[in-house]
Amino acid sequence: MPSFGTVRQDWKPGRLSADPSAYQDLRVAIFGGTGGLGRAITNALLGKGAQVAVVGRSLKDPPHPLRSFIPADLSSLNDSRQVARDLPVESFDAVLLTHGIFAGRSREVTPEGVEKDLATSAMSRWVIAQELLPRLGQDRPSDRQQPRLFVWGFPGGERDLDFTDVQSTRNYRWQTAHSNTVVFNEALVHHSAARFPELNVFGMNPGIIKTNIMAGVLGQSSFKLRAQQTLIGLLFQSAEAYAEKVLPLLVHPALEHRSGALFNRHAQPIEPNPWLIAGNHCDQAVEAAESLTARILD
């Protein structure tokens, strides 16, 4: 059963800051580290001396001695599983799942037959987690903190999911399709926290930040996208500022044994989605994700 961990009750106010030496020799894998928030976190980590394995479609940055790059199309569940299988996560301290898209205005389906947003932003993460978590950090020295998995999305708000139409085949709306991915990602946090007590699993809600995430809805290079990005850039924090707030969560001892916690845009703990943790909704989400991914994987 999910633990629905929360750290709010005894969390000390104020921002965490970590010992700079904690990042030296840290090994992190970032799915989606080629763009947006994942890229900002990658660059912040490299600046502090951590080693980062980046998984994504195309690397935009010049070579860095501490960064490796694994190209992959994470809209494919079979490719996602293969990349996760090939990654030597036994020696890694943390894995960050930041890859994702916003569904387009009309429904798109991947060659594997999954609604595109659901496949890229949620189901690929279920497949990756299933593949990585049993091995994560297993070969590290025993005095290290428990390995950590961070799942980005928009957890914590109240939203539901129609279990009879998780693939948005009826009355497609991009907002609903994306909302479904949010529920599945939070369920992944609760489920993994309960299933792997030897790990620490966290959900991340960054709030609104200027990135490329709306390109699928507004059109890559469109005027609407540029206008929206300009407005968001003026009103909200940058990806780089957010990355600096998040970095201590990767290493800080305050997060040890607080698996299942969710964090907001200031890296402060938030409560879980009340609908998801009510009744058996989380179990239903787990069942739906496991049966969908099992159907697709070869």
Ligand X SMILES: NC(=O)c1ccc[n+]([C@@H]2O[C@H](COP(=O)([O-])OP(=O)(O)OC[C@H]3O[C@@H](n4cnc5c(N)ncnc54)[C@H](OP(=O)(O)O)[C@@H]3O)[C@@H](O)[C@H]2O)c1
Shortest spacing between CB 277 and ligand X, in angstroms: 20
Residue 146 or 185: which CB sits closer to ligand X? 185
Shortest spacing between CB 182 and ligand X, in angstroms: 8
Residue 61 or 283: which CB sits closer to ligand X? 61
Judged by CB under 6 A, how many residues of this single chain contact ligand X?
28
- By CB under 6 A, the residues from 209 to 248 that bind ligand X are 209, 211-213
β-bridge partners, 109: 115
Shortest spacing between CB 263 and ligand X, in angstroms: 12
Cα distance between residue 31 and residue 81, in whole Å: 12
Q: Residues 51-70: x/- map of binding to ligand X (CB under 6 A)? A: -----xxx------------
The reply on whether position 208 binds ligand X by CB under 6 A is yes
- By CB under 6 A, the residues from 16 to 45 that bind ligand X are 32, 34-38
Choose among 141, 142, 108: nearest CA to 217. Answer: 108
Residue 100 or 147: which CB sits closer to ligand X? 100
- By CB under 6 A, the residues from 112 to 171 that bind ligand X are 120-121, 152-154
The reply on whether position 273 binds ligand X by CB under 6 A is no
List of residues contacting ligand X (CB under 6 A): 32, 34-38, 56-58, 72-75, 98-101, 120-121, 152-154, 206, 208-209, 211-213
